[in-house]
Structure 1
């Protein structure tokens, strides 16, 4: 009877510690049901994907223009084509970097191409790497709170 709390604690530790494995992140856009600001992982239909790089970071990119908002959740290595990724990629949110030389030699009048990537004037990158699937939280503190809640439940079951 007393082996159950110990078994639950060991399973919880095994789930939380993935030494050597790549981090798991949600990979979707706000066009996908459940992937908007109010995130619902059941709406997107999966529990995330493993990132391709071993030391990858989960990213949530929020782009705004007026009332229009686009959210992208992905691995940082999958967004490497973007030139507006901030240099500081530690845990937390930062505004996008400006590339003043982007499309410097392009001269055409087709504004839909958005070669200067200035359609969204307000772009924010939120980075997280301390917990799997951490880019699903609207605030980065939710993943830490869930970990503490799981540990509290394990300790209560152990008594």
Structure 2
């Protein structure tokens, strides 16, 4: 085998390895911080807390809990908050972009008391620190890599 063909086979193997590691899809980017951390109050210092990927989460969530006269604020991905039993039970069932709703109470002793107005959950997909990562999707990269692989494969003959 000539060194030219060997080089093409190495490139082809590398591209196929990259193709196997690729997971197509989009992810939402969110600020992820707590108000106890400096720069994460009602306003976020975006230099300290840049947007980070949330994987398969659909929404970014801002939780505002009134404690006395102050607010504790949590900014996090929906799927991360859902891992906490407290948030999973309190998070409103209706989740839409731009909606801010009070927490569910889940009080077994008073089933008529449904909401806790001292805790508000706000959901967003594409504004105020929320944005979809749609610049280059996994499927776009997949098409590009498969085109390169087929081009190299036809040049091997």
Contact map agreement 2:63 2:120 (CA 8 A) in 1: yes
In structure 1, the residue matched to 2:124 is 128
Greater C-alpha Rg: 2
Q: Is 2:23 aligned against 1:21?
A: no
Instruction: For residue 20 of structure 1, report the CA deviation from its aligned partner.
Output: 2.7
**Aligned with 1:51 (options 50, 54, 64):** 54
TM normalised by structure 1 equals 0.54
What's the counterpart of residue 74 of structure 1? 76
Q: Which has the higher strand share?
A: 2
1:85 lines up with 2:91 in the alignment: yes
Corresponding position of 2:38: 33
CA displacement at 1:93 relative to structure 2 = 0.6
Query: Of the candidates 98, 101, 104, which is equivalent to residue 97 of structure 1?
Result: 104
Instruction: Give the 3 Å change call, closer, same or farther, for CA 132–21 of structure 1 in structure 2.
Output: farther
SS in 1 for 2:65: strand
Which residues of structure 2 form unaligned runs of 5+?
A: 1-23, 110-115, 132-157
TM-score (norm 2): 0.55
How many residues are aligned here? Answer: 97
